[in-house]
A and B are shown apart, each in its own frame.
Chain A
Amino acid sequence: MPTLANYLIASGLLFAVGLGGVMLRRSIIVIFMSLEMMLSAANLALVAFSRYGLVSGHQNYDAQVLVFFIITVAAAEVAVGLAIIVSLYRARQTTHVEDLDLLKF
């Protein structure tokens, strides 16, 4: 039977992979996808806690409601973020993150 630690380590590894993607990839689309991966990892951890921390014999539905909200917010965030990337591409004609350095001092 998998223990809670198993699920948490799985979630953590997924989060770490997403973090590595954010820091190491150069294409902004891929960075954004890694961001989504990090959010999902958090969702996994939450659902695991919901199942393992029983409240009067049932799962702790508060955690699942929070996952619900996270998914919603992630969807909205993706929409807006991709719109920004599109206008960025229109302005700069590049998705390479090192070319976007106008805020350099």
Chain B
Amino acid sequence: MLLLAAFWLFATLMVAFGLCVILLRNPVSCAMSLVLSFLCLAALFVTLDATFIAIIQVLVYAGAVMVLFLFIIMLLDLRTEESRRLNMSATLGGLLVVASFISILTQITLANPSFAKELPALAGPAVNDVKEIGMTLFHSYSLPFEAVGVLLLSATVGVVVLSRKSLR
């Protein structure tokens, strides 16, 4: 019961703040709305008993990524974007695609009976999911782990290269 109320609250807030992101004019306001949306998302993760993922979401996404966004907004000194003439056909097209996507999604989800089951109970007492995720990661997915490390390295190098002022 509590779970359901929590779900509805945080899900509604998440989608609402998402809508704020795309409707507000000031980019800083958009960034802040996105942060709040991520926080609600982290709450939803907690309701799903994925506490490690929730914390990681807050730390990395809300903490690092969005801060980076704000840095860049400040760096580029972006003001409220001027409103240009609305391209009616493009807007309608976009809305059409979004609407059709939502319709298909709900159609699939509601049509599938296996999605309608209730939250299954966990077997034993709450496990330490950090440990479990760690075990799974390093037992079964050590290669992707290393690959992601290389990816981060190359991203770092790429960012440094791209940020150089000019080619000397």
Contact = CB atoms under 8 A, between A and B. Distances in A.
Contacts of B124: 57
Interface in B130-168: 132-133, 136-137, 140-141, 144, 148, 151-152, 155-156, 158-159, 162-163
Interface of A is mostly: helix
Contacts of A79: 68, 155-156, 159
A96 B87 CA distance: 14
Contacts of A74: 61, 65
Interface residues of B, number: 85
A37 B18 contact: yes
A23 B68 contact: no
B44 A3 contact: no
A40 B48 CA distance: 15
Contacts, number: 237
A100 interface: no
17 contacts: A4-B115, A10-B14, A12-B101, A16-B102, A30-B27, A36-B61, A36-B65, A44-B45, A64-B53, A65-B136, A69-B144, A74-B65, A75-B65, A84-B162, A86-B72, A86-B75, A96-B81
Interface of A: 1-10, 12-21, 23-27, 29-30, 32-34, 36-37, 40, 43-44, 47-48, 50-52, 54, 56-59, 61-62, 64-65, 67-69, 71-80, 82-87, 89, 95-96, 98
Given A61-B129, A79-B156, A79-B159, 11 more contacts: A2-B119, A6-B11, A14-B14, A20-B94, A27-B78, A43-B41, A47-B53, A57-B123, A69-B144, A69-B148, A76-B155
Interface of B: 1, 3-4, 7-8, 11, 14-15, 18-19, 21-22, 27, 30-31, 34, 37-38, 41, 44-45, 47-50, 52-53, 56-57, 60-61, 64-65, 68-69, 72-73, 75-76, 78, 81-82, 84, 90-91, 93-95, 97-98, 101-102, 105-106, 109-110, 112, 114-120, 122-124, 127, 129, 132-133, 136-137, 140-141, 144, 148, 151-152, 155-156, 158-159, 162-163
